[in-house]
């Protein structure tokens, strides 16, 4: 999750002085907020409807929260950015609505890093053409980031493990997935 969120932020070209939006408040999206903050983003807009995840996003560096989704969410992001949109947007959900929200939240010339596993996403060629944003994403090359991320964790510079908000024995793995699916847990740690 941390490596995937980090890749999303890097793919979105998050960095110093940039405004970054993160669409998705699961463990990967929250990790992207953390990554954007560590990469020096000036402003980070987390898209979330869940108070506990909003609090974690703020802890990781989010400066703003947007609860709206889809077109309304993109309009809210543009409103927060003076009508411009973000320099960088991470899409960490994988739905048609979230991908469109990410693209339409991003200013012309900006970058969208998509790490949500796309299911049923179809992009309109003309809409994409006129959005003038760059798209980069897919499976995260975690090994590329792993040495630096391990160092950040081991030297207590970041604490991504706080996304694990429920611990269950491995025999209850099915319940762990239900808890995450029903938003009763962000990420479940299974124990032996």
- pLDDT tens digit string along 74-133? 999 999 999 999 999 999 999 999 999 999 999 999 999 999 998 889 998 988 888 999
Question: CB neighbours of 182 closer than 8 A, spacing ≥ 6?
Answer: none
Range of the domain at 192: 159-192
Structure tokens that stand for 50 in this block? 């869940």
The total number of structural domains that make up the chain: 2
Structure tokens that stand for 3 in this block? 């490596």
Instruction: State the number of CA atoms in the 13 A half-sphere of 157 facing the CB.
Output: 11
Q: Are strands 19-23 and 134-137 parallel, antiparallel or unpaired?
A: unpaired
CA 27: distance to chain centroid?
8
47, 94: one domain: yes
In a domain, 20, yes or no: yes
47, 107: one domain: yes
98, 181: one domain: no
114, 184: one domain: no
Find where tokens 């990554």 sit.
35
In a domain, 152, yes or no: no
In a domain, 150, yes or no: no
CB atoms near residue 35 (< 10 Å):
32
Mean pLDDT of the chain: 95
The per-residue pLDDT for 29 is 97
In a domain, 149, yes or no: no
100, 180: one domain: no
């Amino acid at each position: 999750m941390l490596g995937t969120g980090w890749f999303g932020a890097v793919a979105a070209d998050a960095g110093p002085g940039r405004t970054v939006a993160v669409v998705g408040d699961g463990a990967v999206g929250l990790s992207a907020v953390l990554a954007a903050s560590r990469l020096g983003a000036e402003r980070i807009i987390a898209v979330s409807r869940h108070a506990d995840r909003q609090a974690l996003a703020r802890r990781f560096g989010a400066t703003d929260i947007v609860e709206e989704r889809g077109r309304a969410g993109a309009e809210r992001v543009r409103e927060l950015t003076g009508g411009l949109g973000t320099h960088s947007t991470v899409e960490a959900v994988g739905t048609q609505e979230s991908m469109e929200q990410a693209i339409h939240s991003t200013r012309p010339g900006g970058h969208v890093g998509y790490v949500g596993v796309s299911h049923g996403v179809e992009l309109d060629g003309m809409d994409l053409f006129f959005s003038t944003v760059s798209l980069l994403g897919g499976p995260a090359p975690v090994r590329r980031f792993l040495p630096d991320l391990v160092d950040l964790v081991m030297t207590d510079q970041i604490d991504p493990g706080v996304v694990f908000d429920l611990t269950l024995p491995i025999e209850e793995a099915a319940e762990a997935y239900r808890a995450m699916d029903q938003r009763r847990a962000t990420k479940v740690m299974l124990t032996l």
